[in-house]
Structure 1
Amino acid sequence: MFAGVSSFGFGGTNAHVVLTEAPSLPLSFDEEYLTYTETMAKPQPDILTISAQSLSSLQRLITTYKETIRDSSLDKRLADICYSAQQRRTHHPYRVAVVGETKQEIIEEMERIQRNKEWREDVKPKYTEPTIAFVFNGQGSQWQGMGKGLFRSNKVFRNAVQKCNRIFRKFADWSLIEELFSANKNSRLSRTSVAQPMIFAIQIALVKALSECGISPDAAVGHSLGEIAAYHVGGTLSLEDALLIIFERSRYMEMVKGKGKMAVVQLSFEEADEFIAPYRDQLSIAANNGPNSVMLSGASVPLLGLLKDLENKKVFYKVMDSDYAFHSMQMESICNPFEESLTAIRPKASEIPVYSTVYGFRHPKAGLTSKYWRRNVRQPVCFQEALEQCFKDQYDAYIEIGPHQSLRVVHGLFVAEKRLPTKRHHANLCSSLIHCQVRAIPRLGERMKPLWYALFVQSGQEERVRYLIDRHSHIHVDQMLIPKRKLL
């Protein structure tokens, strides 16, 4: 584009300037990643909350919502209906929540809930503040493209990742943000030295985004790698100490790549311990994940041989897609130098209960030294034991924090079991947090309103669905008006 500017002076001096638009300057590092992309243009999912005073009302109300949403002749946007249900309704004791990006997805979820009877009665008094435990998952939850949309669309999330990156660059010669936006062919997420710091940064940023919306943990537990985030969020580790542990842990664990394999096996801890007895010097139970779920780790040949025997016994297993044998004797070679690298950390008293998956119970900060993190690398993950202690303290909801729900198959109480028909990974904030939160919503009720307003509400127009009242006939009979029979 060109423009001409003329100036005519009183003294007879004339000047004319022809201007053109300024050349495009290269974007700064952060501006490049904040540029609008196709990811931002994708539709955001809606979340519909339904509650009632009785189970029969809830069942009929679900049917009413289905019919209302299905009726295309009505000029009602799905976002408006969800907004009204979230923000303009009192949340009664009987509750369900569904999520979807289209009307059909919402309807299918409601039909599934009706078939499986997945409603919940909140029997706690209304004045009781619901309690939340954050469950931080470990390696295996990473995926290419995780966090891109959140980084672009949510300032709190972005600031948290940038802060992690600034501190991390003191230890490492690569950038978390550059890896976050790397092309598929250049991604290094298959390397544990890259995956672990990336997962940690995503987890911390998710916690910050949730906190901004009023959702903060009353307790925390972490699976293996996730313990570092759990103890940081719990106030025991500073962000600098946590990132130092992440950097050294991932760096040393990278050194044992190619020396073993891992597999999830559908056995109890006791059954698995019996099966690996002949291979005790080569195989270990890496994690006790649940009542019938363990992780086996060790040398590739004996592990694959054992899995063949288990297959013949009709025992389900899945070999992990990695060449690492974490939490096994193969970690012994790195334990001493790893422990020595963490002598500078200074743990503090935790601000909330944190349940250790090294010991299987709440662990005092006094023992959270470099020796503890050595055990975190070498010893089995006592996830089942830690969760049992957590359950005994009766938190109202358990929210899995991480790039993807890797723990949902272990315990039914995890709120990250929400599934959309075609997509497993989502790059924008709403989708990611919905996958973490949807099953917590019926439990938390009013406490979720700030989160709904900040993340899920896409319209402020009110569009209510009529509440269905239980109707009962009550006939009062006055005893004084009943003729008394005379006794003969």
Structure 2
Amino acid sequence: MSDLSAALATKRSHLMYRAAILARSEKELRSALRKLAAGATDQPNIVTGQRQGNRKLCFTFAGQGSQWWGMARDLLLHNATFRSAVEAFDAEFHPVAGFSIKEELLRDKDSSRIDDTTVTQPALFAIQYGLAAVWRDFGVTPDMVVGHSIGEAAASYLAGGLSLSGAARFLSKRGIIRDQLGKKGAMAAIGLNVRDVEALLPDHGKLGIAAINGPGSTTISGDHDALHDFVEEFQMMNPDTFIRALTVDTAWHSYHLDAGEDWFRREMATIDWSVPDIPFLSTVTGRPETRFDTDYGWLNLRRPVNFQSGIEAALLHGATTFLELGPAATLAGPTRSTALEAGANVSVLNSLSRKASDFETMAQAAAELFVQGVDLNWPAITGQPSRHIDLPANAWQSEPF
């Protein structure tokens, strides 16, 4: 099967109307081919589409809350490109942080510290950096990038705005700012538009908007007790509306951070940055930004995340496909709903999933990209055929013209 897929990928022209089949065995392949021939393409392992001439690809990068202890484990253990990228980042991160992020990613469930912010944030960057390396190996590079909160570090790096050493230094300090705050915070996700949430917040000033994710998706943060009291009252008054306290111990993007601003600026007096090579669409300002200096690093930490504005900016830049680089499809819902509200028809894909193996999920996304017209580096995906394969001739319609 590997020789057959390699031959089809590298020895045949890829035309406008395309199909890709995901199969683990010859039996699965034969079954899918019969269904495809019969027009039954609504199968999870059959991907069909038409090459798009005006296609633009936006990479999106999830922030804290998307992590889990086994994320990207398959790739880290079995994909050399991914592993090398993680090790390259670890070589920059370990000396400034005092611990190995690769070792943290390889811990088992019982010993994992993945929900400790000092580990969470650099771990997310490590796998996003690794995923970008694998996609680049596959021939897939973005036309623009959007990051959610800490996801902006990987977004800026991929855009050419941050160096790897600059990202390592930023991430080694961003998480430990919590030790400068002196109070315990909390955050919660709510299934309402930001204006509706603002109208419900108490006027005591202890809670505020932390993120505008998309239509009907808002995050709040603030004092621990005040937030949990708000969640409890909200659930009583609005039992049919989603709300959930997040697994964090810090009120990110809230006034709590102000106590650590001077410390942060001293520690991050210099960040090694450059003007991006491709559009870095900011979820701080909602427009393209060219600097990831200390001032911007602070705003990334303190201001509310406006992911909805970042996606709207991507749509204005012509994005037709969004590919998430992260542990799961965390940003898929907000991305789709933002595009829908804007009247845009887009494709939203994810690199990894908690419900499937890393390789299966990436194969699914690669198939989707292929049928849309992305020129994949097939030898990196299928390998070169080890022997000659006699492929069937193209079928022609026997009709006069």
Q: Considering the TM-score relative to the shorter chain, is it more than 0.5?
A: yes
Instruction: Answer yes or no: is the 8 Å Cα contact 1:408–1:414 preserved in 2.
Output: no
Q: 1:85–1:410: structure 2 CA closer, same or farther, 3 Å change rule?
A: farther
Q: 1:316–1:100: structure 2 CA closer, same or farther, 3 Å change rule?
A: farther
Bigger relative CO (Cα 8 Å, ≥ 6 apart): 2
Q: Which residue of 2 aligns with 1:374?
A: 298
Q: What SS class does the counterpart of residue 263 from structure 1 fall into?
A: strand
| Alignment match of 1:433 (pick from 362, 374, 381) | 362
For 2:66, the aligned partner's letter is: S
Distance 2:80 2:21 in 1: 27
Displacement after TM superposition at 1:425 (Å) = 5.2
Q: What SS class does the counterpart of residue 332 from structure 2 fall into?
A: coil
For 1:374, the aligned partner's letter is: W
Q: What SS class does the counterpart of residue 183 from structure 1 fall into?
A: coil
Q: What SS class does the counterpart of residue 211 from structure 2 fall into?
A: strand
Q: Which residue of 2 aligns with 1:386?
A: 310
Q: 1:453–1:146: structure 2 CA closer, same or farther, 3 Å change rule?
A: same
Distance 2:179 2:3 in 1: 50
Distance 1:215 1:404 in 2: 19
Q: Which residue of 1 aligns with 2:161?
A: 236
Q: Which residue of 2 aligns with 1:397?
A: 321
Q: Which residue of 2 aligns with 1:74?
A: none
List per-residue Cα deviations over 1:264-286 (Å, max 9, x = no partner): 2111122222222x246111111
Q: 1:275–1:469: structure 2 CA closer, same or farther, 3 Å change rule?
A: farther
Q: What SS class does the counterpart of residue 220 from structure 2 fall into?
A: strand
Instruction: Answer yes or no: is the 8 Å Cα contact 1:310–1:316 preserved in 2.
Output: no
| Alignment match of 1:320 (pick from 228, 243, 246) | 246
Instruction: Answer yes or no: is the 8 Å Cα contact 1:400–1:414 preserved in 2.
Output: no
Instruction: Answer yes or no: is the 8 Å Cα contact 1:397–1:444 preserved in 2.
Output: no
Q: Structure 1, unaligned stretches of length 5 or more?
A: 1-76, 475-488
List per-residue Cα deviations over 1:320-340 (Å, max 9, x = no partner): 233332212222222221122
Instruction: Answer yes or no: is the 8 Å Cα contact 2:47–2:367 preserved in 1.
Output: no
List per-residue Cα deviations over 1:78-114 (Å, max 9, x = no partner): x566556544544343445554646669859986836
Q: What SS class does the counterpart of residue 249 from structure 2 fall into?
A: coil
Q: Which residue of 1 aligns with 2:139?
A: 214
Displacement after TM superposition at 1:354 (Å) = 0.5
Distance 1:195 1:464 in 2: 48
Q: Which residue of 2 aligns with 1:64?
A: none
Distance 2:165 2:348 in 1: 30
| Alignment match of 1:187 (pick from 103, 112, 122) | 112
Are residues 1:174 and 2:99 paired?
Answer: yes
Q: 1:123–1:221: structure 2 CA closer, same or farther, 3 Å change rule?
A: closer
Determine what percentage of the aligned residue pairs are the same residue. 27
For 1:239, the aligned partner's letter is: L
Are residues 1:245 and 2:178 paired?
Answer: no
Q: 1:473–1:189: structure 2 CA closer, same or farther, 3 Å change rule?
A: same
Distance 1:325 1:465 in 2: 61
| Alignment match of 1:342 (pick from 268, 293, 301) | 268
| Alignment match of 1:93 (pick from 1, 16, 33) | 16
Larger of the two Rg values belongs to structure: 1
Q: Which residue of 2 aligns with 1:160?
A: 85
List per-residue Cα deviations over 1:172-193 (Å, max 9, x = no partner): 2211222122232221111010
Q: 1:467–1:361: structure 2 CA closer, same or farther, 3 Å change rule?
A: same
Instruction: Answer yes or no: is the 8 Å Cα contact 2:65–2:247 preserved in 1.
Output: no
List per-residue Cα deviations over 1:285-308 (Å, max 9, x = no partner): 111111221112222333334334
Q: Which residue of 2 aligns with 1:443?
A: 372
List per-residue Cα deviations over 1:214-253 (Å, max 9, x = no partner): 2222211111111011111111111111110011001213
Q: What SS class does the counterpart of residue 122 from structure 2 fall into?
A: helix
Are residues 1:410 and 2:334 paired?
Answer: yes
For 1:441, the aligned partner's letter is: F
Distance 2:7 2:204 in 1: 59
| Alignment match of 1:356 (pick from 279, 282, 298) | 282
Q: Which residue of 1 aligns with 2:123?
A: 198
Q: Tell me how many residue pairs correspond in the alignment.
A: 382
Instruction: Answer yes or no: is the 8 Å Cα contact 1:288–1:381 preserved in 2.
Output: yes
For 1:93, the aligned partner's letter is: M
Distance 1:454 1:444 in 2: 17
Instruction: Answer yes or no: is the 8 Å Cα contact 2:191–2:241 preserved in 1.
Output: yes
Q: Structure 2, unaligned stretches of length 5 or more?
A: 337-345
For 2:247, the aligned partner's letter is: D
Instruction: Answer yes or no: is the 8 Å Cα contact 2:47–2:371 preserved in 1.
Output: no
Instruction: Answer yes or no: is the 8 Å Cα contact 2:283–2:310 preserved in 1.
Output: yes
List per-residue Cα deviations over 1:142-171 (Å, max 9, x = no partner): 222334432343333222222211211221
Q: What SS class does the counterpart of residue 399 from structure 1 fall into?
A: strand
For 1:183, the aligned partner's letter is: D
Q: Which residue of 1 aligns with 2:209?
A: 285
